[in-house]
Amino acid sequence: MSGHTVSNYQRDLKRCANFMLGQALTQWPSFKTKHVRQFVAQLNREQLSARSIQRHLSSIRSFFRYLIREGIVSDNPAQAVQAPKAQKRLPSTLDVDQISGLLDHVNQNTFIGCRDRAIMELFYSSGLRLAELAGLNCRDVDLADQLVYVTGKGDKKRVVPVGGKAISAIKVWLQCRDEHRLFNEVALFVSKRGGRLGVRSIQQRLRHWGKQQGISDRVHPHRLRHAFASHMLEASGDLRAVQELLGHADISTTQVYTHVDFQHLAKVYDAAHPRAKNK
């Protein structure tokens, strides 16, 4: 699992352990299903979101599977406990004009501008996750064949096409890097001091450019990934292809993007279906 997931699970289990101590439960075998339900009720009272409660339960289930394998407990008390249903939120995406305005606005006459333009072009061109883009090295981009070699969740590898505008922006950035004599740094995106650009810095730079353009809601990496997915689906309708490009293990994860532009889908339906119109 990713470091982010491990950190969340660790925090969830500490919270669960503190709850147990409050109930005078000092051993994991004494933690029963009724206690799990009480824990969920407490999280509800603390007004945690349904999604957060689901994750807490997932953390407990995973941990007890480990305890069963180690022979410490005989059953999983969280297995039968249902989490509250999370309300499905549709991704907030940017339309094509907003994307164009955002990307074309970045001035490539400076080190920061060259780098940030290349970052945003690559996010939108190839639908990369934040950690995937931050982890790229120079050798991972094939400029000739216009491909990027990505290491995704669970160290799964995939190859994703890179659009012409993103390739042009990356070339400008690489030339700028060379002018600043950053030859020894393997990372594709670096700071002025030469170190790999971290995920927080990338988030801050996107937020900065979003504010510059006056875009409502915060511009963040996943929003560009959403835009990539929804625009690709809108134009192609090929859910399986988009699933592969995004690196989703389960197509149900990709299906959320089919709901992004319902008005467009309704127009396609009205125009294409033989019995859409009542005539």
User: Domains in the chain, please, with CATH?
Assistant: 3-69 (no CATH), 98-216 (1.10.443.10)
Whole-number Å distance between alpha carbons of 77 and 1: 23
Report the pLDDT value the prediction gives residue 176, as an integer from 0 to 100: 93
Whole-number Å distance between alpha carbons of 197 and 190: 5
Task: Give residues with Cβ within 8 angstroms of 246, minimum separation 6.
Answer: 127, 225, 229, 253, 254
Q: With 0.95 as the threshold, say if the pTM is over it.
A: no
Residue 34 catalytic? no
Residue 257 catalytic? yes
Report the pLDDT value the prediction gives residue 153, as an integer from 0 to 100: 82
Report the pLDDT value the prediction gives residue 203, as an integer from 0 to 100: 95
Report the pLDDT value the prediction gives residue 276, as an integer from 0 to 100: 65
Catalytic residue among 115, 220, 223, 248: 248
Whole-number Å distance between alpha carbons of 58 and 10: 12
Residue 85 catalytic? no
Catalytic residue among 15, 37, 61, 153: 153
Catalytic residue among 223, 225, 226, 231: 225
Tens-digit pLDDT string for the chain (279 aa):
777 888 889 999 999 999 999 999 999 999 999 999 999 999 989 988 888 999 999 999 999 999 999 999 999 999 989 877 766 565 567 888 889 999 988 988 899 999 999 999 999 999 999 999 999 999 999 999 999 999 888 788 999 999 999 999 999 999 999 998 888 889 999 998 889 999 999 999 999 999 988 887 788 998 899 889 888 887 887 888 888 888 888 877 777 776 555 555 566 667 776 766 665
- Residue 159 forms beta bridges with which residues? 149
Report the pLDDT value the prediction gives residue 14, as an integer from 0 to 100: 96
Report the pLDDT value the prediction gives residue 87, as an integer from 0 to 100: 63
Catalytic residue among 15, 165, 196, 222: 222
Catalytic residue among 55, 117, 129, 220: 129
Residue 222 catalytic? yes
Residue 9 catalytic? no
Radius of gyration of the chain (CA): 23
Residue 35 catalytic? no
Report the pLDDT value the prediction gives residue 111, as an integer from 0 to 100: 94
